[in-house]
Chains A and B, each alone.
Chain A
């Protein structure tokens, strides 16, 4: 049977291409293709057509989208125009999860097609600051008043934490936290309170919902419903707040099997800002896992065709402009860390500079040099 004599049969090619046929139908189409070169040619054309569309550029969501939605919801709830957002504990966390999704999915419909944003850090949703074994050092604040201007007291000393407790942890990220940003501070209660106040002030100014998920007085975890907030913005904020000189900033990486490892971002910041981009790609440019695509189970030919595409068309790398902004903020942070490390070294006797904390300051010095 030729293609022209059975137009309905042609639809099978599209379904075959999309992996939407039953096993029996798939075999039937493959048998047909083996004997009909024109069908092979049409299938190849349809595949190329689909790839051209799927390779169209994506638009990025406005960074303040989730904030705008929050404001809109709160305003309508206050005006009585709509039911208020759910307030129970479980539904609230679901609600916040939705807020995270809002910016992840972002602009739903644009001119001609629905598009998907490229959130560079959607899978890296936590920034952890661990302040450990930080001695009180008045001179640092006096000399570095600009960076520490909003921290209204010196960091108190606290017992040293086990070295293995800080740099790497294995936690799972709860579904409600996907896309959200978390700041975790492990320090003395006073430091926790101060950093929390600063982060909350920052959140209010940015109209970002913030909630406390702390487990204790000396372990503060604040979740910001702002998935479009770059990690670099948070690190910059923490630098302004006056993160303890002994702090580590780590970012999670998703490991095979679903476990989450946290790597020390500070140790990974290269000296040369131009090299940072490549280094940063390890964190920022993970391709989006598309469950729907995986579930569709494309045919061998589809997979082969997709593998032949240029890498950039599939991985949707982040906006270069944003990278430039991030680079600038991170460079500021590097300078900040380096300055603190130098001050710290100057405060202490020779040979003891790196001894008060774990390896993090040393690595930051290396990164900042």
Chain B
């Protein structure tokens, strides 16, 4: 969503600063994580608008640029030392393909996939964060997965 690790770090820091400064406004009706994610999403949207106004670019420019090969250092979730080189290479290639497929989604679809499949939030939480009805979450998620499925066909066959 941000386009780079540095942006991600800045947004993370800003999210928690905002949250801590307005903690008295957290009424406990939603989960803490949901509230945090909502702050984060609002920050990203605001930054996107600012960038749009300043640069005159399309609304989706910049923050939604496809990832720019900044994936070094990512933890594969498995112990590299325990993997054979060909397994490591296959994992790396699979991750690259999945990341490219994710990056190709439009921002609304990418957001629901990230919140559901990476953050494991339920539909009502995602709806609250994105300020859309739960039914919209369901339809966006379905369309997003269908689009991903299409792009990931070569990888799906190998899983």
Contact = CB atoms under 8 A, between A and B. Distances in A.
Contact of B155 (A15, A52, A58, A68): A52
A111 B5 contact: yes
Which of A18, A48, A53 has the most chain B CB atoms inside 10 A of its CB? A53
B142 interface: yes
A151 interface: no
B49 to A, nearest CB: 16
Interface string A98-139: 110110011111111111101000000000000000000000
Interface in A63-99: 65, 68-69, 72-73, 76, 82-83, 85-86, 91, 94-95, 98-99
Interface string B1-18: 111110111011101110
Interface in B8-65: 8-9, 11-13, 15-17, 19-21, 23-24, 32-33, 36-37, 40, 44
Given A95-B23, A112-B1, A113-B114, A48 B159 contact: yes
A108 B21 CA distance: 17
Given A15-B138, A108-B11, A114 B114 contact: yes
Interface string A251-286: 000000000000000000000000000000000000
A342 interface: no
A176 interface: no
Given A52-B152, A53-B113, A105-B33, A46 B145 contact: yes
Contacts of A91: 23-24
B145 A49 contact: yes
B86 interface: no
Given A86-B24, A313-B78, A108 B40 contact: yes
Given A65-B9, A109-B12, A292-B121, 19 more contacts: A18-B116, A48-B159, A49-B152, A56-B118, A57-B75, A69-B20, A72-B13, A73-B17, A76-B17, A85-B20, A101-B16, A109-B2, A111-B8, A111-B67, A111-B103, A112-B1, A112-B99, A292-B125, A312-B78
A49 B149 contact: yes
B152 A295 contact: no
Given A14-B141, A54-B118, A296-B120, A109 B20 contact: no
Contacts of B33: 105, 292
Which of A46, A94, A315 has the most chain B CB atoms inside 10 A of its CB? A46
Looking at chain B's contact residues, the main secondary structure is helix
Contacts of A58: 74-75, 77
Interface residues of B, number: 70
A114 B33 CA distance: 12
A248 interface: no
Interface residues of A, number: 67
A65 B12 contact: yes
B12 to A, nearest CB: 4
A61 interface: yes
A321 to B, nearest CB: 9
Contacts of A59: 5, 8, 73-75
B77 A111 contact: no
Nearest to B3: A111
A60 interface: yes
A293 B149 CA distance: 22
Contact of A312 (B5, B79, B98, B123): B79
Contacts of A57: 71, 74-77, 95
Interface string B100-126: 001100000010011111111111010
Given A46-B145, A73-B17, A317-B78, A53 B121 contact: no
Interface string B77-100: 111110000000000001100110
B142 A11 contact: yes
Contacts of A317: 77-79
Given A53-B102, A113-B118, A114-B114, A310 B78 contact: yes
A14 B14 CA distance: 34
Contacts of A68: 13
A111 B148 contact: no
Nearest to A97: B32
